[in-house]
Amino acid sequence: MGVNGCGNSLNPSLLPVTLHTRPVPALTGPVSVYMGETQVYSTDAGMNNYTWNVSAGGLVTAGGGSTDNTVTIQWISAGSQTVSVNYENPDQCTALAPSVLNISVNDLPLKPGTPAGDADMCINSPDTPYTTTGATGATSYIWAISPPEAGSISGSGSTGTVNWSDAWYGMATITVTGHNGSGDGPASDPLTVIIRRLPDTGTLYHLPLN
């Protein structure tokens, strides 16, 4: 409001001011992953000047530029990692602080326990179960038998099932390996199994009574 020799102005000057709300960027994507996994993280579309930041344990393989509302990351180091984003909205305002996701990158599974089960078998024994204590970090298990001609083994959980061969006998070993999205962990110590052949029945003879 101006003042002159006649006193105050009857019509003060007004300057309209528009206050814009600062954005809070949404940020979504998996927060528990395995080392070696590739995942996509996204924020709001239609914004300007996106600023993405990924911690040293993540490798950006796609997106993540100033015009991208997504970033594709391959997690290459286990442990605690982060991904964050900020942007400028259509009102040319940015968030006071970037939105951050804390990512837990899991390592390879630990070594499973030695398989437990019957270690003295006869040939042609079907559906023989063997179990292991769970390997921390495993999402599935890989069972193996050596030599392969000793029988067939199946199972993806902490229990494997063996059908022992009807023609092979001797010593065999069973091992199990934990698997997750990062790959295979170390194999368990082997369980040694003895597979015995059936005794010969021989030939029966009928002797005269006198």
Question: What is the C-alpha separation between 33 and 179, in angstroms, rounded?
Answer: 14
**150 found inside a domain:** yes
Q: What is the pLDDT of residues 99-134, one digit of tens each?
A: 999 999 999 899 999 999 999 999 999 999 999 998
Question: What is the C-alpha separation between 66 and 63, in angstroms, rounded?
Answer: 9
pLDDT at 204: 46
Judged against a pLDDT cut of 90, whether residue 16 lies above it is answered with no
Mark whether 135 and 186 lie in a shared domain: yes
Pairing of strands 32-34, 99-106: parallel
The whole domain housing 160 covers: 120-196
pLDDT at 13: 73
Q: What is the pLDDT of residues 23-55, one digit of tens each?
A: 999 999 999 999 989 999 999 999 999 999 999
Please state the rounded mean pLDDT for residues 153-171: 96
**Taking a C-beta distance cutoff of 8 angstroms, is the pair 55, 74 a contact?**
no
Mark whether 128 and 188 lie in a shared domain: yes
Mark whether 127 and 63 lie in a shared domain: no
Query: Which residues have a Cβ under 8 Å from the Cβ of 77 and sit 6 or more positions away?
Result: 35, 56, 57, 58, 105
CATH number of residue 176's parent domain = 2.60.40.10
**208 found inside a domain:** no
